Structure 1
């Protein structure tokens, strides 16, 4: 009887000891990530967008670096919020990544009831690139320069209109920032996507619009649109004669779009660091840079901390603008 009780105690102690060792080992195994699982790259927008291009360009390189297959999971809807929430809810083991754009932090102020906070519910991994917006005018508008645009908008408040792919998009907020800094009035016309807005811009139904440079380039080269200004501090090599918005001297008008990769919050730092290093190698490859530049994007790499600080600063910047301009999501 005593021998039976002693054996039971030993088995119990052995179970407790093994359980404790399992708990101790768990963080180490977790930190390695699910090394055999495919990498799921969530893109919160439709195929064919700039963000989708980024995911499909870096995916093969990640496979080569990490020896893991990848697949792109497009989850469009609600200005990117559906796909973002999917990433937030994913297991923080390094197998699910979100490929996104600065709309991510703009949405926090536009949709105050969001069930997630991008600054706390996601772990920044790295920037991937910067993209430029170009301010263009319909040839029917008669607007031939930034100065003419602002003078007309001041002399005839609200008469000029501008299009965007939707409320809260970088295209929309870029113009609202220009309006705010220059103290002018233009009427916003919101569309469901870039394509219908561009069609109306080419047809003269709207006067001006911010567009990604790769979207506007062919129409500017063909003389169908007039390029007025570029969003960054310096001209772009694709359109070297188009001045920076900074030449207006009305404050900071840099509205370049950043793109980056994030993981669910709680992803172990060793996993984040490994992903950051792998993406740095991929982004340095000449063929990736060439593909990005053809779309008007410049490859970029950062530490997770640098990316996090950029997100926080951008979140405040756009939240302040959205409040000042009284913008609400439609």
Structure 2
């Protein structure tokens, strides 16, 4: 065969192979240059054993099975989630690095103004994965028996009652600061390094109040050691059907549920986002996923990328305004 004909044949073969690769990449929602067999890192910006980590370890194998490529959990804790998040922000938007996180993502915007990224502008929303309720509790020895009594007492006795949190800027802390802001009451914040010691002091009567994840508080409520006076959602929880939601105060948006979700770096291909979102919709509907999430007090929650982006934007504004007006700073 003439050399020029051989060259043309090789070129045609190369073009055909590239076309096949591009088609395969399109099926996975990845740009043609990406390796569709490369592992996908699910970056968890917190330590193993947390609720966020559980989400990644539940959905990871199911995504692996669905897309026939590895989805691997990669814990990158530190700086209240900022280290792992920043790694995702700086990654190439080729679908090989994703972020599994919680709503502290948007709270950190005002708490850490020098962190170097914006969750609204620098990340691509894919879908929520779950929500977790917080419950406002007092010790069984407390004179406060319900939400209205709490507000009335605190208004008449400013700064007398104190409340605990697992740290400044945590959802537990900001939930109480939102309640303070809406009801115009004054409470004294006692910040702890984690939930365990705060819970011990609450049970012992050293602190008066605290927002706790429902799965942490429930056993103590059932044992009569804690008294539940409000739930963070807009509707009562089936686990505590007689506990009123904060919305019952009729003071505007008082939903302080913790949301969790999957995001990627800015610029992720739309096909990739759509395919992962559709996969998550099916995965989150599976009974075994709901059962696994329940162990961490979470309920599966699917959303479209657009709805998740709107939630991120709204919460970034709401919590940002609260942090500024209440003068809250990270420790």
Same fold at TM > 0.5 = yes
Equivalences for residues 134-213 of structure 1 within 5 A:
134-213=135-214
TM-score (norm 2): 0.89
CA contact (8 A) 1:164 1:171 kept: yes
Structure 2 CA distance for aligned equivalents of residues 255 and 58 of structure 1: 25
CA contact (8 A) 1:34 1:94 kept: no
SS at match of 1:140: coil
Structure-2 change in CA distance of 1:260 and 1:87 (3 Å): same
Give, in angstroms, the shift of residue 35 of structure 1: 2.0
Is 2:260 the partner of 1:259?
Answer: yes
1:61 aligned partner: 62
2:79 aligned partner: 78
1:247 aligned partner: 248
Give, in angstroms, the shift of residue 296 of structure 1: 2.6
With 306-315 and 284-293 compared, the bigger mean Cα shift is at 284-293
CA contact (8 A) 1:90 1:96 kept: yes
1:319 aligned partner: 320
Give, in angstroms, the shift of residue 216 of structure 1: 0.8
1:131 aligned partner: 132
1:110 aligned partner: 111
SS at match of 1:243: coil
TM-score (norm 1): 0.89
Is 2:113 the partner of 1:90?
Answer: no
1:289 aligned partner: 290
Structure 1 CA distance for aligned equivalents of residues 203 and 53 of structure 2: 26
1:271 aligned partner: 272
1:3 aligned partner: none
Give, in angstroms, the shift of residue 140 of structure 1: 2.9
Structure 1 CA distance for aligned equivalents of residues 245 and 287 of structure 2: 27
Structure 2 CA distance for aligned equivalents of residues 319 and 201 of structure 1: 28
With 289-298 and 273-282 compared, the bigger mean Cα shift is at 289-298
2:31 aligned partner: 31
CA contact (8 A) 1:31 1:269 kept: no
Give, in angstroms, the shift of residue 28 of structure 1: 9.0
RMSD over aligned Cα, in angstroms?
2.3
User: What is the CA deviation profile of residues 231-282 of structure 1, one whole-angstrom value per residue up to 9, with x for unaligned ones?
Assistant: 1111111111111112223332111111110011122111111111111111
For structure 2, list consecutive stretches of 5 or more residues without a partner in the other structure. none
Structure 1 CA distance for aligned equivalents of residues 62 and 266 of structure 2: 24
Give, in angstroms, the shift of residue 135 of structure 1: 0.4
User: What is the CA deviation profile of residues 107-152 of structure 1, one whole-angstrom value per residue up to 9, with x for unaligned ones?
Assistant: 1011111111111111111111111110011223322111221122
Structure 2 CA distance for aligned equivalents of residues 243 and 100 of structure 1: 28
SS at match of 2:159: coil
